[in-house]
Amino acid sequence: MPDDLRRFILTSIQSVPFVEAILLFMGQAGLSLDAPTVARRLYVSETTATELAAALAASGIVEPVEGSAASWRFAPQSKDLARMLHLLAAYYSSHLIEVTDLIHSTGARKAQRFADAFRLRREKD
């Protein structure tokens, strides 16, 4: 895995559904997708689809469609981000396990740090 992609995944990718949502919006570039469509295509609830789209918007990957309460379209905020998303899509399609393992390991490390913080506090008390 290229180092820049590894860094991007570790710092910017929240979950596998987040990646799947990126790929969905990329595949429909130029079109708007609403929450029910995203939910149906990703096999998640509409609430989860809305949360994913909001996270993608906050990350500068999609933008809300004007005049629509819950629709978004693929619109990376920079050329560098667009390049990294295309690299992610290409690598994910041929190295699914490696990418998902990296995403899951990131979550596990964060959870462990969170648990360790409580353990350290308890030991100090």
User: Tens digit of pLDDT for each residue in 63-75?
Assistant: 999 877 789 999 9
**The model's pTM:** 0.81
* Choices 1.10.287.990, 3.90.580.10, 1.25.40.10, 1.10.10.10: CATH for 3-124: 1.10.10.10
pLDDT at 21: 97
State the helix-helix crossing angle for 46-58 and 35-42, rounded to 10 degrees. 110
Query: Distance between CA atoms of 92 and 39, rounded to whole angstroms?
Result: 21
Q: Answer whether residue 83 shows pLDDT above 90.
A: yes
Which position has the token pair 């648990």? 115
Query: Distance between CA atoms of 95 and 93, rounded to whole angstroms?
Result: 6
